[in-house]
Amino acid sequence: MRSSRKLQRFVMLSFALGMALVGPILIVMTGSPVKNHLSEARRQYEHKNRLRIAQNALVFAQSTANRTEGEAEDEEEDESQARIMYNRVGKCGSRTTLELLKVLADRNDFVLATSDINNQKAITVQEQIDLVNYIYQLPIPFIYSRHLFFIDFQKYGALPLVHINIIRDPIERFVSNFYYKRFGDNRENHTVKFSERRVARTVDECVQFAHHECTSKRLFYITPFFCGQEPACFEPGMWALNRAKTNVIEKYLVVGLLEEYEDTLRVFERLLPRHFHGVVDLYKHPGAETGARINTTATKKKVMPSLETRRILRFRMHFDYEFYFFVQERFQALKKELGIGT
């Protein structure tokens, strides 16, 4: 066991050193014809940030290599599923989930760290590095949650986390958010200062007259949460969609569905019992205080769009829908494997 840990730390340190040395060469290569399909924004992003990423990976790897054998073995036993990242998607049940996690954190003895930053999902490389360092200073076990596009922690030389998330039908999410911004819910009044004319606008009117918040780029919302922090992730297209799918396959333990919320909780409890033990029972029998908070998150004054509006939105959101159906298929397969909902 000790020799394997030594080898793992050596490999991590060697990888970081290699990245630091090879980084400038790789930057030059990104301008070659092989990479000519990349957008200028993405090339600039890689040119600016690759060496900084490698340098941070080197620092992290060096600190890992300096741990004692006892510390390394204890961490190997404790860390298997101790660190969880929930980069929650807006209007996909995250406030209900956080209310449940607040209770579970006390019952199951783990740290729940959340961020109130809701409108800064894309962050700079330095902010990503700072966040990685902050998260890895949290005592384990923990769950860290924030509205944030995916960050690959291993890219910065950090140990992997368990990534989880929940999504919902893209049109349903959009409609809920559209009216929430205007009227809030039973817990909060409207949270965005709009003109009276804009507040009175319905989704049907927004789509019919092609207002800014109903255009294709603005509607591309769910996929970037799983694609990542690169500029190409913010542009509706196959590159962002395929990257998001790859990250779900390789980085996420579970991506559940709000339409099947109870089964999503069952999967969390089955695969992550250290944190989610008792979550299904808590959801079904939350008690007066928690139940009151959970039952106040439904959006007020929500007007469902017409069939024609739905048809237009479905077309404009086709990348998010392809991603949604991909996640839906994976979730059904996972439930079947676990014997849940059958």
Q: Tell me how far the alpha carbon of residue 281 is from its chain's centroid.
A: 25
Compute the radius of gyration of the chain from its Cα atoms.
22
238's torsion region: left (phi>0), alpha (psi -120 to 50) or beta? alpha
Between vectors from CA 69 to CA 64 and to CA 70, what angle results, nearest 5°? 110
Sign of CA dihedral 261, 138, 225, 160: negative
C-alpha closest to that of 225 among 108, 102, 123, 87:
87
d(CA 9, CA 31): 33
Cβ-Cβ contacts under 8 Å for 7 (sequence gap 6 or more): none
Q: Tell me how far the alpha carbon of residue 180 is from its chain's centroid.
A: 21
Q: Tell me how far the alpha carbon of residue 258 is from its chain's centroid.
A: 15
C-alpha closest to that of 223 among 244, 253, 239:
244
d(CA 326, CA 335): 15
273: preceding bond cis by omega (within 30 degrees): no
d(CA 6, CA 76): 12
C-alpha closest to that of 151 among 10, 56, 267, 65:
56
* Among 37, 147, 275, 285, the one annotated catalytic: 147
37 is catalytic: no
Residues annotated catalytic, as ranges? 147
